[in-house]
Amino acid sequence: MNSRIHGLGQGLDALLGSSPEGTAQGNSNQSPQTLSLDLVRPSANQPRTFFGEIELQELAASIREKGILQPILVRPAPLNAGYFELVAGERRWRAAQIAQLHEIPVLIRELNDREILEIALIENIQRDDLNAIEEARGFSRLTEEFGETQESVAKQVGKSRSYVANSIRLLRLPRRIQEWLEEGALQAGHARALLMAQDPVKTAKHVIKQRLSVRQTEKLVSRTTGAPTGKGVKSADTRSLEAELSLSLRCKVTISGDAERGDVRIAYRDLSQLDRIIGKLRSRET
């Protein structure tokens, strides 16, 4: 089994207590039920904000013909008795409205806000439904609002810690570039390269106009910033991580190596600075 999908499945099962089928059978309150479509509301914890009109219309046509085959996951609305909040399946819920259904099959679960966000992230990542910014915002909320570490987030969604860290860094880009990412005008690889650009918006406009590839964008940014190019040159992700660590530790940090192995070198000027660096690293372990 693909390790990425396997990891995602484990994370979702852990959040729901077991497999969806097992949970439903183990608790009568968790069995599939039918709810009026009007009683279900979208959740503020849904990481996905963009839903393509064409794909919704296609799904609505399928629902008209075959119905909703997989129940939609909801929870009782915390501040609105008698109503329910979407946890997973918002695309099906929206398509059901287009198909003019009056009732939909649901699974009702008691979940907190953190669990809702995690489940929604996992479901959307499994389906490749999130754009890079939606994904980054979801990861950021889990770390900033719910106090999770990047390692724990990575484990839940079946990604590496560096993937999560690089994703969150995209939120440092100017709002206009984030919008281009959401619209599909730029890819995540373009955005990571633009993090190092002297004028990210101007560079992004050039990338879009000239339809540059990610590699071409990296070379463009390297030329404009004076960074070296060619074989063995560090990726935009690596350079960005070096800059982040250097700023955090207040000393020069260099990273070398490849996807299999590498080195992180921390330069210090005296023993006093070394003690401070060690103290800061130790404090992050607790």
**Predicted confidence (pLDDT) per residue in 117-139, tens digit:** 888 777 777 666 778 898 898 89
Tokens representing residue 178 in the block: 């984030």
Catalytic residue among 21, 58, 90, 115: 90
Q: Maximum CA pair distance of the chain? A: 73
Rounded to an integer, what distance in angstroms lies between the CA atom of residue 249 and that of residue 266?
9
Percent of the chain having pLDDT more than 90?
A: 26
pLDDT at 26 over 90: no
Helices (H), the chain: 3-16, 20-26, 53-66, 90-98, 113-126, 132-144, 150-157, 161-169, 175-183, 188-194, 200-210, 214-225, 236-249, 271-283
* Least trusted range by pLDDT, from 105-119, 120-134, 152-166, 183-197: 120-134
Number of neighbouring beta carbons within 10 Å of residue 265: 10
User: Is a pLDDT exceeding 80 seen at residue 165?
Assistant: yes
Architecture per CATH, domain 1-172, reads as Alpha-Beta Complex (3.90)
pLDDT recorded at residue 16: 47
Report pLDDT for 24. Answer: 35
- Token pair recorded at residue 39: 């009683």
- Rg of the chain in Å (alpha carbons): 22
Phi, psi of 102 (to 5 degrees): -100, -30
Token pair in block for residue 261: 């192995």
Q: Which residue has the higher pLDDT, 28 or 208?
A: 208
Residue 211's pLDDT is what?
Answer: 93
Helix axes 53-66, 90-98, angle to 10 degrees: 70
- For the question of residue 242 being annotated catalytic, the response is no
Compute CA distances 197 → 172, 190, 220, whole Å. Answer: 12, 11, 9
Q: Quote the CA–CA distance of 44 and 141 in Å, as a whole number.
A: 12
pTM, full prediction: 0.58
* pLDDT of 44 strictly over 90: no
What is the reported pLDDT for 22? 36
Q: Give the residue, 26 or 37, on which the prediction is more confident.
A: 37
3-state secondary structure of 257: strand
Average pLDDT, the chain: 80
pLDDT at 18: 41
Q: How far apart are CA 283 and CA 128, in angstroms?
A: 36
pLDDT at position 78: 84
